Structure 1
Amino acid sequence: MITSIATLSPEECSPVPDAGLGTLTTERGNLPLESVEVTAAVSGLMADLEVVQGFHNPHDVALEATYVFPLPDRAAVTAFRMEADGRVIEGVLKERGQARADYDQAIAQGRRAAIAEEDRPDVFTIRVGNIVPGERVTVHLTLNQPLPYEDGAATFRFPLVVAPRYIPGTPLDGERAGDGWTPDTDAVPDASRITPPVLLPGFPNPVRLSLAVSVDPAGLELREIRSSLHAVLQEGGTIRLQPGERLDRDFILRLAFNASTSLAVVPDDENGEGTFTLTVVPEAAPAGARAKDVVLVLDRSGSMTGWKMVAARRAAARIVDTLTSRDRFAVLSFDTVVERPDGLGEGLCAASDRNRYRAVEHLARLEARGGTEMLAPLEQAAALLADSARDRVLVLVTDGQVGNEDQILKRTGSRLAGVRVHTVGIDRAVNAGFLGRLAGLGGGRCELVESEDRLDEAMEHIHRRIGAPLVTDLALHSDGLDLITETVGHVGSIYSGVPLTVLGRYRGAATGALTVRGRDAAGLPWERRVASATVDNPAVRAIWARGRLRTLEDRYAIGDRSLEAEIVETSLRYGVLCRFTAFVAVDTQVVAEGGPGHRVIQPVEPPSGWENPVAAAPMMLTSMAAPSAMPKPPMGPPGMAAPGSMPKFAASAIGGGLPQEAAAGGFDDRARMLPRPVPAPEPQGRPQEPPRELLAEELKRLRAAASLPAAERLCVLEDLGSRLAALVIYLGGHAELAALAEELRAGGDVDALWQRAVEVLEALVGTGGRRPFWKR
């Protein structure tokens, strides 16, 4: 069901010719977000950013607007403010539960307020309340971001869309944590906060996007600037997006220059402490490498459809081809099930020419299908590598679009100790935060591939990463600089083409040197001594704090619940937003007696490169249902094994005004991430009855589309067949539905297939059955 958030009469709306079914325009508009402006200043290997979001209330009652959006996963959010009616209200960073209480109280009292919260390292939510009719409000976020550097180039990446994520698990009872289209589950207790509604493809561009990046090499020799995915204009040292670009893919700049070994120290303004950042640029890799055990895990789920699956197959095949006869390997491809190449056995096999050929042959046949059940293959991979005495490597190739990141990290974190985990993210709106966290736990690297054009270049990097590191067993030794040991980041290993970067805190004088010691590939001692240089760059402290908070939060997610107080204290002390805190800006002026009369969650763009849905019938615009009356859709966006008729894209925002007191990310009202009881699973081998409401909606679509031309009806039937096939997998089997799905996907006489589908669905809708799982 498509629902509108606007209180408009039918004569106020008119379809746009050839713009796609369900696309609407109105004179007033109905989406609160008008503009997004990003201004970045790159200096060397760091960037300072300001993000400005403009909201407008087109309605005749006060509005609360919610926007779920991405930010760079390593960026530190250090300031927040709201501007409205000539007033500027600075945000204050508080413990998350307290910030929410302050926001809710202000909204109830009719005052303007805004709150910014982190739900994932790269997914954030802003709520702006009591925007009065016709008013425009802007919110400003200030960020500091490090730029990853390797093989002579730094990358500035700014994500612009939260892509739909696969949500596993059993729905939870009680109030939902957010207003998204997916219910919270035991595996993803904040699923409703990270699944905003998605615009139908063809919807007129609802948001004005402006993005400008000024580049200062900061003494480094800048050889080249390259842009990926977006059309840009260059004016001197500033690169701007061309007008008309949409928020549907990451913005990426690659800056080619030579980095250098350095130790920068940044004293605080007070307290006699400071922050350091150590960079060690490695030499070229020597010939030869040690034998290793490699497990390749490839995502072939529905979200990988199209160019991503092609790129993933090529990437996986290249990884297999890099192996030598001394190595052992295994290949696991997964969706809702895990598969291995025939003839390679259940364990690790020798990387002989014959076995590598079988693996590549298996990879070439893979097509996207099913759901993103990532936990099981990662656990199998950890088990395969558990007892190996060789270099152990796990390579994950995926778009990372899952919601149960914390569950995966908790279940696999300790088992991947000593395993170098490399993640290859393939998407134009990749889940970089999760892939970076997973690679970080395993001491590996994260490579992001946003287009087929970038694949060959990226695979060269991946090849080097899979090879043995140049230097291992690294340790940091201080000479005159008094390090605060517990604040120093993980030292890791040194790889060819990838500089080693370590951040930490020190006390006392900002003078001295650091020496990095380890062993090279031949087992001989290796060391580098780097003298300090004092610099004036406050961003270094914020970037260190962001990394420190991520480390603590990952340890918390794995199970160390004693870290809550330290996480909150670190966030508040250094003024950097995290999942346990929130920025809140509250006006003193009362503007809307009684609070907002309307609530809207801003829909997001479908990510560029994702398959467009085939509409089964013209979408209908209906009035807003009460939150309690809205159907709870199945857990998974299109192509992710969502078991049934969840609309693939929303023509407009799914509003609602659901209570915001519910916890986010497994947090209670004081922002504590609480363990959730896991309901007992359904007994294996006992298929469930298909949900009548879901099948009735499919039948309704068929009847509405009966007058379409034969070619369009055939597309409708094929689309229905794919959904029914996914439903059969979810139900644990259903002979009649499975047979119908196979017939529809195979094609044939349109009229006969149409009649067959109607008859089967009519019979099943009339037989009763259990309620859908999300309504039990």
Structure 2
Amino acid sequence: MNCCGLLTANKEPVPLKSVVVELQVRDHVATVVSTLNYENKEDKPLEAVFVFPLPGDAAVCHFSATIGQTQIVAEVKEKQEAREEYDDALSSGQQAFLLEESEQSPDIFSLSVGSLPPGESASIRLEYVTELAVQADDGLRFCLPAVLNPRYQPQASEGASVQVTSVPASLVPYSLSFSARVSSPRPVSKVESNCSLDPLQYLNTEQTQATVKLATGHKFDRDVEVLIYYKDAHQPTAVVEAGQASAKPGSLMGDPVVMLSLYPEFPQAVMSSVASCGEFVLLLDRSGSMDCSMNSKSDQTRIGSARDTLLLLLKSLPMGCYFNIYSFGSSYEHIFLKSVEYSQKTMEEALKKVERMGADLGGTEILKPLQHIYSQPCIPNQPRQVFVFTDGEVENTKKVINLVKKNSGSHRCFSFGIGEGASSALINGLAKEGGGHAQFITGADRMQPKVMQSLRFALQPVVVDISVTWDLPKGVSVTVLSSPITALFQGQRSLVYAQLSGKSSKAAEGCVTVKYSLAGHPSQNQLHFSLTPAQDTGLTVHRLAARTLIRSLEMEERESRREQDGGVKKKVVELSVQSGVSSVFTAFIAVNKGDGEAIKGPLVRRNVPTPGMVHHYSHARRQRSMATATFGSGGSSGGPSFDGNRSFACGRKQSGYMLTADTFGDGGRDDDFLSGARSARRSQQCSYMLTETGSNIFASDRSFCSFQSRPVKQPPTDPLLQLVSLQKASGCWVLDPALAAALGKTSEEVESTKPASVNQEVWATILALIWLHGFKMDAQEEWELLAMKAASWLRAQNAPCVTECVEAGNALLGCNVRKDALGL
């Protein structure tokens, strides 16, 4: 399968030669221009179809094609009309180009390049604008999705599935080049990426402008993630942008639009208190794709990292709260019939079950477990917090987000996208509509600090009674385009878009006030801003505002569809056409109506592959033995076994074909068992293909595949997780040989140095805290909450000689940690 030249996995030539991406970041808004260069090297005319991901909240605002010296700029039209125009153009021998958003998920687009004659080249230019999300460490995150994982379509779901052709990164037959230019009123302190970058180049002495680009030789095995850090990032800002001169005054594009970035600051006294109540519902993806590695250099699987994270989460929950753990694939399970009070007994019961969780539940049907969670009555005075962990390979994204929005009054939803190719539309949509916070774990990221950051948000007092009021000069009125703010967190940005109508003097100023109540304390933040429009913004703010309004109306349309009301859809189409921003009901269409001759001959369709996730298996293991298994034509979900060690389970019926695998009997890691498979094109009945590429195995729809093996020897436990696993629900540790081992000491050393007047649990807990502060400060975000719980438990004991204990503990462990640093 290591083919040469421009070939797909089916050995068909691919007309896409290269992708060039230019990113321009202004403060926290990004404009992205992608140029896709096509060339038909075949002897017949082609139609190239490329299904690819974009950020879920992107506003696609320009699409054009250049053939030779001719440039054709696409128009936005109602989707069915655009499709018919495209088909008509192809049938009459004209060249045409169609760009449309998937009806299932707003982060997947399909680009059709029609009637590319033999020997002809075409260059497609695609432009979109997007806001950059604020990360827990104040970095602004831009992600260029390169990996498009096949999306799992639930059984009996409506609508056609998105047809994705994907291959391993090593077989992607086109190149990617990526460059970025960053400018901001504040200095750019650094730019980081999960991919190799050339050094950052500053363009001025103030360091407010900089450029950076991907190092040469970038492989398509991951999304390109860029993190941008500014000095003094948390400054509220307002940008007023002038309307389009050619647009009608009073319309969205004709009037000025303001974009407010608000960073509410909460009183420190309130923020230092952590809630001791809440119902925490943890929802874990156990589909087959969770068996993939976290990244190409990691041995740890997504499901393994999720298990470690649940251990930390469960240890960090406050006494007095309630919790439950759901897991899902094609079906779903829950540990308790309903949420239970958090105690040593319930925590231990949950952890035992978490330890046994594998990526063995098949597909990715997230809707049903969410419906079950929302059907459970809320517990009085215990605010519900739902944590969703998924690699996001679902197809009914809009249905899931709609369900969360419908139940937004009863809970907050925190979402975590795991691994390359997680759906940004799903992860961001869950958090936005659920009033929570979204995090993405990609590349070498550790899941634990990001999840613990979200737990800190969940334990913050809930902000209520949020209102935004405007104070504008006489003659100027405001129409707010954004949905009302429903969630505020310390350090997190809230964006508000509004249309300004009427006239004001040049020096006029506006003021916006955000009022809210936090733990019974009424608070407010004010922002004064000039009404003079900013220059050279390229209608970016207008397009982002239009996108915000379009998404809101689309959600409304899904509600009104049940009432057979087409009015909302009509509004979306009008707004999309007027603003030139894509929507689910419209598409970009460009037709080359030049005087060239009609293109003759039957049109051949070529699907352009995207990079898909590769599951890595080690090749060099000893005690090799070959095993083969044949699937019978009537087989279904059960699979044959390989020497009793390994089975390959399949979620669809297939016609018979042979799968060959290397198996190893040396008790190595699960990922080491299967190192090669012969590729085979499935019959129409099966929707995926396995491909062997050197020592990698790639399944084009891994959602339907799950690999299972006999229990194997576990890798050594992380010392931090080893210590954390020994903590009791109350926050204390017990003095026993396991704790001594985790501290790197013998039982005798630990027991003989204990001050005589102190009980064993107090001594054990102080030792654990000293070890955390002395050796694991680099991972403080991960253990901070459980250490606070331990310190709180110690204070409640009123133990004598705490100072003596800290001194003795420092001497034993070779540390120099002060008592006040431990919270004592």
Other structure's SS at 1:163 match: coil
Which residue does 2:585 correspond to in 1?
580
Other structure's SS at 2:455 match: helix
Which residue does 1:224 correspond to in 2?
190
Which residue does 1:54 correspond to in 2?
37
1:77-92 → structure 2 map (5 Å cutoff): 77-92=60-75
- In 2, the alpha carbon distance for the partners of 1:549 and 1:427 equals 29
Paired AA for residue 245 in structure 1: H
Paired AA for residue 236 in structure 2: T
Which residue does 2:718 correspond to in 1?
none
- In 2, the alpha carbon distance for the partners of 1:742 and 1:46 equals 40
C-alpha spacing 1:593/1:366, structure 2 compared with 1 (3 Å): same
Answer yes or no: is 1:338 the counterpart of 2:297.
no
Which residue does 2:812 correspond to in 1?
none
1:318-717 → structure 2 map (5 Å cutoff): 318-341=312-335, 345-369=336-360, 370-384=362-376, 386=378, 388-469=380-461, 471-480=463-472, 482=476, 484-485=478-479, 487-509=481-503, 511-521=509-519, 523-533=520-530, 534=532, 535-536=534-535, 537=537, 538-560=539-561, 561-562=565-566, 563-589=568-594, 590-594=596-600, 596-607=602-613, 642-644=650-652, 691=653, 694=654, 696-698=655-657, 701=658, 715=674
Which residue does 1:198 correspond to in 2?
166
C-alpha spacing 1:351/1:486, structure 2 compared with 1 (3 Å): same
CA apart distance, 1:100: 1.1
- In 1, the alpha carbon distance for the partners of 2:383 and 2:615 equals 36
1:33 paired residue among 4, 8, 16: 16
1:383-428: per-residue Cα shift (whole Å, max 9, x none)?
A: 2354644322111110110112233344554234331111111111
Paired AA for residue 167 in structure 1: Q
The answer as to whether partners of 1:99 and 1:584 remain within 8 angstroms in 2 is yes
Which 10-residue stretch deviates more, 413-422 or 93-102? 413-422
C-alpha spacing 1:476/1:711, structure 2 compared with 1 (3 Å): closer
Other structure's SS at 2:593 match: strand
Paired AA for residue 500 in structure 1: S
Q: How many residues align?
A: 617
CA apart distance, 1:35: 0.8
Other structure's SS at 2:49 match: strand
- In 1, the alpha carbon distance for the partners of 2:186 and 2:708 equals 60
Which residue does 1:248 correspond to in 2?
221
The answer as to whether partners of 1:188 and 1:403 remain within 8 angstroms in 2 is no
Other structure's SS at 1:288 match: coil
Which 10-residue stretch deviates more, 431-440 or 509-518? 509-518
Paired AA for residue 608 in structure 2: Q
Q: TM-score, normalised by structure 2?
A: 0.69
Other structure's SS at 1:72 match: coil
CA apart distance, 1:745: 5.5
1:723-759: per-residue Cα shift (whole Å, max 9, x none)?
A: 9xxx9xxxxxxxxxxxxx9999569xxxxxxxxxxxx
The answer as to whether partners of 2:282 and 2:388 remain within 8 angstroms in 1 is yes
Answer yes or no: is 1:296 the counterpart of 2:262.
no
- In 1, the alpha carbon distance for the partners of 2:597 and 2:218 equals 35
Paired AA for residue 250 in structure 1: D
Other structure's SS at 1:697 match: coil
1:116 paired residue among 99, 105, 108: 99
CA apart distance, 1:96: 1.0
Answer yes or no: is 1:125 the counterpart of 2:106.
no
Other structure's SS at 1:358 match: helix
Which residue does 1:43 correspond to in 2?
26
Other structure's SS at 1:453 match: coil
1:654-699: per-residue Cα shift (whole Å, max 9, x none)?
A: xxxxxxxxxxxxxxxxxxxxxxxxxxxxxxxxxxxxx5xx2x423x
1:177-197: per-residue Cα shift (whole Å, max 9, x none)?
A: xxxxxxxxxx14131xx2312
CA apart distance, 1:438: 2.0
C-alpha spacing 1:506/1:388, structure 2 compared with 1 (3 Å): farther
2:143 paired residue among 153, 157, 162: 157
The answer as to whether partners of 1:371 and 1:640 remain within 8 angstroms in 2 is no
C-alpha spacing 1:162/1:610, structure 2 compared with 1 (3 Å): farther
The answer as to whether partners of 1:167 and 1:188 remain within 8 angstroms in 2 is no
The answer as to whether partners of 2:391 and 2:422 remain within 8 angstroms in 1 is yes
Other structure's SS at 2:125 match: strand
- In 1, the alpha carbon distance for the partners of 2:559 and 2:678 equals 40
C-alpha spacing 1:719/1:85, structure 2 compared with 1 (3 Å): closer
1:628-648: per-residue Cα shift (whole Å, max 9, x none)?
A: xxx9x999xxx997524xxxx
C-alpha spacing 1:166/1:232, structure 2 compared with 1 (3 Å): farther
Which residue does 1:760 correspond to in 2?
none
Paired AA for residue 199 in structure 1: V
C-alpha spacing 1:214/1:718, structure 2 compared with 1 (3 Å): closer
Paired AA for residue 476 in structure 1: V
Paired AA for residue 521 in structure 2: L
Other structure's SS at 2:258 match: strand
Which residue does 2:740 correspond to in 1?
none
- In 2, the alpha carbon distance for the partners of 1:634 and 1:109 equals 46
Other structure's SS at 2:308 match: helix
- State the identity %: 25
Paired AA for residue 155 in structure 1: R
2:81 paired residue among 84, 93, 98: 98
C-alpha spacing 1:746/1:516, structure 2 compared with 1 (3 Å): closer
1:143-173: per-residue Cα shift (whole Å, max 9, x none)?
A: 1121112442211211112111211123xxx
- In 2, the alpha carbon distance for the partners of 1:595 and 1:503 equals 51
- In 2, the alpha carbon distance for the partners of 1:444 and 1:714 equals 40
1:127-142 → structure 2 map (5 Å cutoff): 127-142=112-127
1:213-272: per-residue Cα shift (whole Å, max 9, x none)?
A: 1111x2113222211145555444222112232333211111122230123222313416
C-alpha spacing 1:745/1:418, structure 2 compared with 1 (3 Å): closer
C-alpha spacing 1:160/1:280, structure 2 compared with 1 (3 Å): same
C-alpha spacing 1:245/1:188, structure 2 compared with 1 (3 Å): farther
Answer yes or no: is 1:208 the counterpart of 2:199.
no
Paired AA for residue 140 in structure 2: A
The answer as to whether partners of 1:209 and 1:244 remain within 8 angstroms in 2 is no
Which 10-residue stretch deviates more, 571-580 or 232-241? 232-241
Q: Which runs of 5+ in 1 are unaligned?
A: 1-13, 171-186, 619-630, 645-690, 728-740, 748-776
